[in-house]
């Protein structure tokens, strides 16, 4: 009988250890898988055929003059489908400024404005995002221009994500950004006061983005 009881106790001990080991293995697997599930990020890059980064200033207080940049890159990283945790990185080649008037564009590239030879890039890096409505967010980040960095806040709208029939059904997301910057905060065109050119510069960017 004693041998029998000893055998039973050993058997129970083995089963208990097996259950304990299984729990440890399950916990370890959960630990390994959980970060992948929670922290998996998609990087979205702009479709080169559908971007626009535009701006508008007021000339002489009576007329709006538009322009845009032809050469820039944007990437967005997000874990949420609605882009509610999006991080945005933008780099603009300032020499690509285009207002459709050659003399004016040459002037904008000069030391009176963008100093393109000394400061060839303008950059924006987002730091925080706050939801203000369905698909609409307040995006705050640092804008660096002419070796000056200022914090700005713009409105980012996720206009939806659809399957692109021209890309084998790959997802494509529409993103729009609107905002206003004060050019005087970056010493941009200081020789031209607001009666000539408004300090207020309206920005509007539209793009379609695909997963990298």
135: Cβ contacts below 8 Å, ≥ 6 apart: 82, 157, 158, 159, 160
Give the pLDDT score at 41: 84
Note whether 33 and 41 are within 8 A (CB): no
Q: pLDDT, tens digit, for every residue of 20-37?
A: 555 554 444 444 444 433
* CATH (domain of 86): 2.40.128.110
The predicted model gives 179-200 an average pLDDT of: 98
Examine the domain organization and report whether 96 and 135 are in the same domain: yes
Examine the domain organization and report whether 153 and 193 are in the same domain: yes
Q: Which of 37-51, 93-107, 133-147 has the lowest mean pLDDT?
A: 37-51
Distance CA 108, CA 146 (A): 13
User: Helix, strand or coil for residue 124?
Assistant: strand
Examine the domain organization and report whether 30 and 48 are in the same domain: no
Examine the domain organization and report whether 10 and 100 are in the same domain: no
Which residues does residue 142 pair with via DSSP β-bridges, in sequence order?
125, 151
**Does 210 have pLDDT greater than 70?**
yes
Note whether 169 and 143 are within 8 A (CB): no
What is the tally of structural domains in the chain? 2
- Give the torsion sign (CA, 158, 160, 166, 167): positive
Give the pLDDT score at 8: 46
Domain hosting 101: range is 41-211
């Amino acid at each position: 009988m004693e041998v029998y009881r000893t055998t039973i106790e050993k058997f129970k001990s083995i089963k208990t250890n097996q259950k304990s080991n299984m729990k440890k293995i399950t916990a370890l697997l959960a630990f390994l898988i959980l970060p992948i599930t929670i922290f998996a990020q998609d990087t979205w890059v702009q479709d080169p055929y559908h971007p626009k980064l535009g701006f508008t200033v007021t000339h002489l207080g009576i007329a709006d003059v538009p322009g845009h940049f032809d050469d820039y890159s944007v990437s967005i990283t997000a874990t949420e489908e609605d882009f509610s945790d999006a991080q945005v990185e933008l780099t603009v080649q300032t020499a690509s400024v285009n207002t459709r008037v050659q003399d004016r564009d040459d002037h904008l590239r000069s030391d009176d404005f963008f100093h393109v030879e000394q400061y060839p890039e303008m950059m924006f890096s987002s730091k925080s995002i706050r939801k203000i409505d369905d698909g609409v967010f307040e995006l705050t980040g640092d804008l660096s221009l002419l070796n000056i960095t200022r914090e700005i806040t713009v409105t980012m709208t996720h206009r939806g994500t659809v399957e692109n029939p021209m890309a084998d059904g790959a997802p494509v997301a529409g993103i729009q950004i609107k905002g206003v910057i004060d050019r005087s905060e970056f010493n941009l065109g200081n020789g031209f006061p607001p009666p000539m050119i408004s300090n207020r510069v309206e920005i509007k960017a539209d793009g379609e983005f695909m997963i990298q």
